[in-house]
Structure 1
Amino acid sequence: MPSFDIVSEVDKHQLTNAVDQVNRTVTNRFDFKGVNAEVDMNGFELTVRAEAEIQVTQMVDMLRSALIKCDIDPLAMEVGEVEQSGREVRVKVTLKNGLDKELAKKIVKMIKDEKMKVQASVQGDQVRVTGKKRDDLQQVIAMLRAKELDQPLQFNNFRD
C-alpha cells in the first residue's frame, strides 16, 4: 500500500550556513562597525546578541532572510522576548524541529474530517499516511499545503 510521512525538520547543516552568513554580514556592515554583535548556535536554539535592541531586531531580520536563502521555512522560527542584561541585549530564537503531539493530532483530525480514503496515524514526531491509491495520498498533500499551519511541513518516504 502506498504511504508517506508528514514531518517538520530543519536541516542542521543549512542552519549552520545561515548562522555563519548572518555573522559574516554583521562583521561587514557599516552600521555594526565596532559593535559586539553575533549569533550563537546551540543545537536548534540560537542566541542573538548585540548592544542595542534595534540591532538585535535587525539581526533577527537578517537571520530570517538567511534562512529563506538556505531553504529553511521561516515559520520554523520562534522568536522569544528581548532581554536586557547590562550593556548587552539578547533574544532567544528557537527553531521547531519535529511535530509536537498537539499538531500531529490536529493533522490527523484534519485528514479524517476531509473523509478521504486514507488512514493517518501518529508515530513519534511524525504522521504516517497510508492509502490504497496514490492519488488519494496526493490529495492529502495538496490539502495540507493549502492549510495555514504554524509550522512548516515536509512530506517524505513516499512509497508506492
Structure 2
Amino acid sequence: MASESSFDVVSRLDRQEVDNAVNQCAKEISQRYDFRGVDASVSLDGDVITLEATSPERVLAILDVLESRLFRRGVSLKALDLGDREPRPQGRLYRLVCPLREGLSQEVAKQVTKAVRDQGPKGVKATIQGDEVRVSSKSRDSLQAVITLLKELDVDAALQFVNYR
C-alpha cells in the first residue's frame, strides 16, 4: 500500500521583505521632487503600515510607490488590507492605514477546499487546520494538479504551498 503524500496551503509574509520595502518607499519619498514641501511619511508598526501626507492625492501616490516596492521584493499585494482605499483626515494630515494579512481566513480556506473537492482530481482530500489547508492524496501527480489548480484560483489571499512530502 502506498503512503499518503501531502502539502499545506498557507498565506505567509516575509517580514524582512516587507520592512525593506517600507524603508525603500520612505527613502524614495524623501528624495522625490513631487514630495518636497509635503509632510509625507510611511511607517511600519507591527502588522500595520501607515501612510500620511497633507493631501489625499499624495497619500495615494505614496501607496503607489509602496505597492511597486512590495511587488519588486516579491511580496504579494494581496497581503495589504486596503479596505475602501480612501485616506481619512487626521487633523491637518490625511492617513491611510493598511493592516497586513497573514494566514488564511475561514472564507478563503472554505473556497480552497471547495475548489479542490469540485475541480480537483479524484482521491484528493483537503482539510482545514486552523489558518492552513492540508491537501493529501496517494498520487503525487494529483497533488501537482491541485497546486496548478490553486495557482489559477482567484482568492483574496496570497497562497503558498509548503511541507510537500
> d(CA) in 2 for partners of 1:36 and 1:104?
41
Give % identity.
Answer: 38
Q: Which residue in the other structure is 1:8 paired with? A: 11
Q: Which residue in the other structure is 1:123 paired with? A: 129
Determine helix, strand or coil for the equivalent of 2:37.
coil
> d(CA) in 2 for partners of 1:28 and 1:48?
16
> d(CA) in 2 for partners of 1:115 and 1:157?
19
Q: Residue by residue, what CA displacement relative to the aligned partner does 1:58-116 show, whole Å, maximum 9, x if unpaired?
A: 00000100000110011222214311122100001122110011111121111111252
Structure 1: where are the runs of 5+ without partners?
Answer: none
Would you say 1:51 and 2:54 are equivalent positions?
Answer: yes
Q: Out of 88, 93, 97, which is 2:98 matched to?
A: 93
Q: Residue type matched to 1:63 in 2?
A: L
Q: Out of 107, 110, 115, which is 1:110 matched to?
A: 115
Q: 8 Å contact 2:120–2:149 — kept in the other structure?
A: no
Determine helix, strand or coil for the equivalent of 1:78.
coil
TM-score between both structures, scaled by the size of structure 1: 0.95
> d(CA) in 2 for partners of 1:115 and 1:74?
27
Would you say 1:142 and 2:148 are equivalent positions?
Answer: yes
**What displacement does 1:34 show?**
2.7
Determine helix, strand or coil for the equivalent of 1:140.
helix
TM-score between both structures, scaled by the size of structure 2: 0.92
Would you say 1:151 and 2:130 are equivalent positions?
Answer: no
> d(CA) in 1 for partners of 2:120 and 2:28?
49
Q: Residue type matched to 1:145 in 2?
A: K
> d(CA) in 1 for partners of 2:60 and 2:107?
30
Q: Residue type matched to 2:156 in 1?
A: D
Structure 2: where are the runs of 5+ without partners?
Answer: none
Q: Residue type matched to 1:98 in 2?
A: G
> d(CA) in 1 for partners of 2:111 and 2:56?
36
Q: Residue type matched to 2:91 in 1?
A: G
> d(CA) in 2 for partners of 1:126 and 1:44?
19
Determine helix, strand or coil for the equivalent of 2:81.
strand
Number of aligned pairs? Answer: 159
Q: Residue type matched to 2:162 in 1?
A: N
> d(CA) in 2 for partners of 1:114 and 1:85?
48
Q: Which has the higher strand share?
A: 1
